[in-house]
Amino acid sequence: MPAEMLAIPVLPAPAARPSPWVVESIELGKTYGERSPNPVQALRGVSFTVAPGAFVAIMGHSGSGKSTLMNLLGCLDRPTFGTYMLDGQNVSRKTRRQLAEVRSHTIGFVFQGFHLLQRLTARANCELPLQYAGGLSRKERRARASEALIRVGLQDKLERRPTELSGGQQQRVAIARALVNRPKLLLADEPTGNLDTRTGLEILALLQELNSTGVTLVMVTHEPDVAACAKQVIHMSDGLIRRTEEHAVPQSARQALAQLAAEEKAP
C-alpha cells in the first residue's frame, strides 16, 4: 500500500552532498601476502586529503610505500584496510571490474616510461582512453584527442608515431592521453624520471600550467627539486606519512628553465 494512504509522511531523500575532496584517504593500509608466512606491511595506515586544484608530491626512499599508495589512489589495487573516498565515492571495496570503470572516467595516469603504443600515432594513442570509456563518436574522439595534444603544445605532431618524437614530446603525448577523459585526478609516477634536466623542467612547467587551470595533480618523485614544484609534499617512510610540507610559493619550473638558459649562456 502506498505510504501516503497510510498517512506516513514520506521524507525526501537526503540531498547528495558533494565531497570537498578529490581524494580522502582514511587510515589506508596494504599488506602483501597476508596469508603467507612473511606478510609485508607496505602501507600501515595513511590519512590525508587532496583538494580540487591541489598539486601534491609524494616523496620517500625506495621501499617507503609510494608505488603501493599510487596503485591504491589509481584504483589499480584495493586496500587491505582503511577507506578510500575518490571524488566523494567510497571505492575501497569495489570489484576489479568496478574499479576499471571508475578509473576510466575519473583518473588520468602519467608514467615514467610514457607507455605509448609504438604503432599508433600521437592522436590515436590519445583516442584510446575515449574508446575504452565509450560514449563518443569517432569524430568526437578525434576532436577531443587533437584538443588534448594542442593543450600540451603538440599541435604539429598529431600524426607522428612515438619513434618520431623526443622523450619530452612522448611524455607530452602521455599527458595529453591522461587528460583526454577530463579526469578528476591526474596521477604522475616519476614523470620526469626518464628525462634530462631541461626536458624534465619543461614537463614540470607543463604540469604546473595544467594545475593552474584547475587540474588536480598527485605526483610521486624521489627528487627534492621536482617535489619543490608542488604546492604540498607528503614525506613517507616505512609505509607511513612522516611529515607534510606546504609550499606557499612553489618553485616555478619556468623560472628554473630561464635560469638554466642563463647559466648555459654565461662564459
Does 67 interact with ligand ADP (rule: CB under 6 A)? Answer: yes
Please name the residue ranges forming H helices in 20-118. Answer: 66-73, 96-106
The residues, ordered by sequence, that sit 6+ positions from 255 with a Cβ below 8 Å of its Cβ are none
Contact range with ligand ADP by CB under 6 A, out of 57-65, 148-156, 240-248, 254-262? 57-65
Size of the site for ligand ADP (CB under 6 A): 12
Question: Closest distance between ligand ADP and the C-beta of residue 35, in Å?
Answer: 13
Strands of the sheet containing 81-86, edge to edge, are 40-50, 23-32, 81-86, 89-90
Using CB under 6 A, which of 23, 25, 59, 60 touches ligand ADP? 60
Give the Cα separation of 20 and 187 in Å (integer): 19
Q: Which is nearer to ligand ADP, 44 or 254 (CB)?
A: 44
Element spanning 27, H or E: strand 23-32
Question: Closest distance between ligand ADP and the C-beta of residue 27, in Å?
Answer: 17
Does 38 interact with ligand ADP (rule: CB under 6 A)? Answer: no
Q: Which is nearer to ligand ADP, 20 or 224 (CB)?
A: 224
Give the Cα separation of 88 and 19 in Å (integer): 5
Query: 243 phi and psi, to 5 degrees?
Result: -165, 150
Q: Which is nearer to ligand ADP, 67 or 232 (CB)?
A: 67
C-beta separation of 213 from 237 below 8 A: no
Give the Cα separation of 77 and 15 in Å (integer): 31
Contact range with ligand ADP by CB under 6 A, out of 58-66, 99-107, 159-167, 244-252? 58-66
Using CB under 6 A, which of 29, 65, 82, 129 touches ligand ADP? 65
C-alpha cell at 2: 502506498
In the block, cell 602501507 appears at: 43
Q: Which is nearer to ligand ADP, 68 or 211 (CB)?
A: 68
Using CB under 6 A, which of 27, 34, 47, 63 touches ligand ADP? 63
The residues that touch ligand ADP, with contacts defined as CB under 6 A, are 32-33, 40, 42, 60, 62-68
